[in-house]
A and B are shown apart, each in its own frame.
Chain A
Amino acid sequence: MTVAKKKTARRAPAAKRTTGKRKTVERKHTATQSVNALGASSDPAISTYRRRMQLVGELLNAALDELIGARNRSDRLGRAAYLHIIGQVFEALDGLSQAIPLDDLVKLSKIVAEQRRVELNTRKVDPDARRARNGDRPPPAESEPDEPQTRGLPAHFGEIVRQIYGASFAEDVDGGASQDGTAAQPATESLPASARSAD
Chain B
Amino acid sequence: MANGRTAREIKRVRNEMLVALKMLYPAALQAEQLMRSLLSLFPALEWDHFRRDLAYLSEKGYLQRVVADTESDERLTPWRQRWFRLTSRGVELAEHLIDDPALDP
Chain B residues engaging chain A, CB cutoff 8 angstroms: 8, 11-12, 15-16, 18-20, 22-30, 32-33, 36-37, 40-41, 47, 66-71, 80, 83, 93-96, 103, 105
A-B contact pairs, 11 of them (CB 8 A): A32-B105, A38-B15, A50-B20, A53-B20, A57-B22, A57-B25, A68-B26, A80-B68, A80-B71, A83-B68, A90-B33
Q: Which of B12, B69, B105 contacts A78 (CB 8 A)?
A: B69
Q: How far is the CB of A99 from chain B (nearest CB, A)?
A: 6
Sorting the interface of chain A by its residue count into under 10, 10 to 19, 20 to 34 or 35 or more gives 20 to 34
Q: Tell me, yes or no, whether A160 is within 8 Å of chain B by CB.
A: no
Judge whether B15 and A37 touch: CB under 8 Å.
Answer: yes
Assembled-state Cα–Cα distance A118/B83 (Å): 41
- Binary contact readout A55-93 vs B (1 if CB under 8 angstroms, 0 otherwise): 011001100100010000000001110010011001100
Assembled-state Cα–Cα distance A53/B93 (Å): 17
**Which residue in chain A gives the minimum CB-CB distance to B94?**
A38
Judge whether A38 and B93 touch: CB under 8 Å.
Answer: yes
What residues on A are CB-neighbors of B33 within 8 Å? 87, 90-91, 94, 96
Chain A residues engaging chain B, CB cutoff 8 angstroms: 31-32, 35-39, 45-46, 49-50, 53-54, 56-57, 60-61, 64, 68, 78-80, 83, 86-87, 90-91, 94, 96, 99, 102
What residues on A are CB-neighbors of B71 within 8 Å? 80
Assembled-state Cα–Cα distance A35/B13 (Å): 11
Judge whether A35 and B8 touch: CB under 8 Å.
Answer: yes
Assembled-state Cα–Cα distance A38/B16 (Å): 7
What residues on B are CB-neighbors of A83 within 8 Å? 28, 30, 66, 68, 83
Assembled-state Cα–Cα distance A185/B15 (Å): 57
Q: How far is the CB of B76 from chain A (nearest CB, A)?
A: 15
Q: How far is the CB of B20 from chain A (nearest CB, A)?
A: 5
Judge whether A53 and B69 touch: CB under 8 Å.
Answer: no
What residues on A are CB-neighbors of B68 within 8 Å? 79-80, 83
Q: How far is the CB of B71 from chain A (nearest CB, A)?
A: 8
Q: Which of A31, A39, A57 contacts B27 (CB 8 A)?
A: A57
**Which residue in chain B gives the minimum CB-CB distance to A39?**
B96
Judge whether A86 and B28 touch: CB under 8 Å.
Answer: yes
Q: A46-B16, A49-B41 are in contact. Are A36 and B105 (CB under 8 A)?
A: yes
Assembled-state Cα–Cα distance A72/B30 (Å): 20
What residues on A are CB-neighbors of B19 within 8 Å? 37-38, 50, 53
What residues on B are CB-neighbors of A50 within 8 Å? 19-20, 23
Q: A38-B19, A79-B68 are in contact. Are A60 and B24 (CB under 8 A)?
A: yes
Q: How far is the CB of B88 from chain A (nearest CB, A)?
A: 15
Q: A32-B105, A53-B20, A80-B68 are in contact. Are A99 and B27 (CB under 8 A)?
A: no
